[in-house]
């Protein structure tokens, strides 16, 4: 290998390491703050203790808020997956005049300011007399994450081989049977990826939830925000560390599901071989 090429390689390694350190540094600071022995959140910590972790069990509002976040995110993701998949199916596989305009309309929540959507939802749901509860939040968040589902599932549908559907139709299968037995199994990976991204995005949603929800239905981000207005102890850092561990566990669980899915290993392997060749 020429010396000039080796120098460029080490420069890339150093730059990648610096970027990785920059991304990990805030998380390390949160971790150290969570074990601080001081009565307030500050860095560097005065000492190390696990006392704040033991006190977390006494903060019942965080457990209830976590449950609300899980319910709201799961409901919004399920609704977005169903509606987004049907919309992608109509736009990609059944061409009609104005489908580009319809797709742009469905993608518009991605660029819309979230605070604007929150105000709009507050007015709409107040007129519908459902504002303040998790059901309203599920409806609102499903619209916000719909573009992610439409984009990912739509790309997967566009890359499917139409010969499979045509063969099923030649054998006498109807549209519904073709969808559930041919199309849907080929979309499993895309649905999993879209659902994972949508779940993480909705779980961390603050602007819309802050305007829609009332006390008793608060999600975890809102509860953390309200707690920080009154207290400055490391409890917030402790909850943040727990959320980081939850996100890592979710990531490895998704990776395990992807690796264990039938045909995924062969698909990834074939793509890798094509790139190498």
Q: What is the pLDDT of residue 161?
A: 83
Task: Please tell me whether residue 32 adopts helix, strand or coil conformation.
Answer: helix
Ramachandran angles phi, psi of 218, nearest 5°: -65, 140
With tokens 């566990």, the residue in question is 249
Can you tell me the distance from the alpha carbon of 24 to that of 41, in angstroms, rounded to the nearest whole number?
19
For residue 230, give both structure tokens.
């009154």
Domain 58-221, CATH class in plain words: mainly alpha
Residues in the chain: 277
Can you tell me the distance from the alpha carbon of 277 to that of 178, in angstroms, rounded to the nearest whole number?
35
The pLDDT profile of the chain, 277 residues, written as one tens digit per residue, is 566 666 678 888 889 999 988 988 888 888 888 887 777 777 777 777 788 888 887 788 888 889 999 999 999 999 999 999 999 998 888 888 888 898 889 998 888 888 888 888 889 998 888 888 889 999 999 999 999 999 999 988 888 888 888 888 888 888 888 888 888 888 888 898 899 889 988 888 888 888 888 877 888 888 888 888 887 778 888 888 888 888 888 888 887 877 776 555 444 444 444 444 4
Cα-to-chain-centroid distance, residue 90: 24
Can you tell me the distance from the alpha carbon of 22 to that of 224, in angstroms, rounded to the nearest whole number?
25
Q: CB of 218 within 8 A of CB of 226?
A: yes
Q: Is the dihedral of CA 127, 130, 134, 139 positive or negative?
A: negative
Task: Please tell me whether residue 36 adopts helix, strand or coil conformation.
Answer: strand
Q: Is the dihedral of CA 132, 209, 193, 249 positive or negative?
A: negative
Cα-to-chain-centroid distance, residue 27: 19
Domain ranges, ordered by start, for the chain: 58-221
Q: What is the pLDDT of residue 150?
A: 92
Can you tell me the distance from the alpha carbon of 50 to that of 33, in angstroms, rounded to the nearest whole number?
11
Q: Is the dihedral of CA 135, 108, 258, 24 positive or negative?
A: negative
User: pTM score, two decimals?
Assistant: 0.80
Residue 235's nearest CA partner among 43, 56, 65 is 56
Task: Please tell me whether residue 218 adopts helix, strand or coil conformation.
Answer: coil
Q: CB of 131 within 8 A of CB of 212?
A: yes
The reply to whether omega before 44 is within 30° of 0 (cis) is yes
Give the E-state strand segments of 12-112 in sequence order. none
With tokens 């849907």, the residue in question is 184
């Amino acid at each position: 290998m020429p010396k000039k090429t080796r120098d460029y390689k080490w420069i890339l390694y150093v730059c990648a390491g610096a970027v990785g350190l920059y991304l990990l540094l805030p998380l390390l600071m949160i971790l150290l703050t969570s074990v601080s022995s001081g009565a307030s959140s500050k860095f560097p910590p005065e000492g190390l203790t696990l006392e704040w972790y033991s006190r977390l069990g006494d903060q019942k509002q965080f457990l209830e808020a976590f449950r609300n976040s899980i319910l709201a995110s799961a409901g919004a993701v399920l609704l977005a997956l169903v509606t987004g998949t049907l919309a992608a199916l109509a736009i990609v596989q059944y061409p009609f005049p104005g489908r580009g305009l319809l797709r742009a309309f469905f993608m518009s929540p991605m660029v819309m300011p979230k605070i604007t959507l929150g105000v709009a939802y507050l007015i709409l749901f107040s007129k519908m007399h459902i504002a303040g509860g998790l059901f309203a939040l599920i409806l609102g968040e499903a619209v916000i994450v719909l573009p992610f589902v439409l984009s990912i599932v739509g790309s997967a549908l566009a890359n499917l081989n139409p010969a499979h559907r045509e063969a099923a139709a030649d054998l006498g299968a109807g549209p519904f049977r073709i969808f559930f037995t041919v199309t849907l199994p080929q979309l499993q990976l895309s649905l999993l990826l879209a659902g994972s991204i949508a779940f993480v995005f909705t779980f961390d949603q603050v602007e819309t939830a802050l305007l829609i929800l009332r006390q008793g239905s608060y999600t975890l981000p809102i509860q953390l925000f309200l707690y920080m207005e009154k207290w400055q102890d490391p409890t917030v850092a402790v909850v943040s560390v727990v959320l980081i561990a939850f996100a890592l566990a979710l990531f490895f669980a998704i990776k395990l599901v992807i690796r264990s899915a039938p045909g995924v290993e062969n698909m990834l392997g074939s793509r890798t071989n094509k790139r190498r060749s």
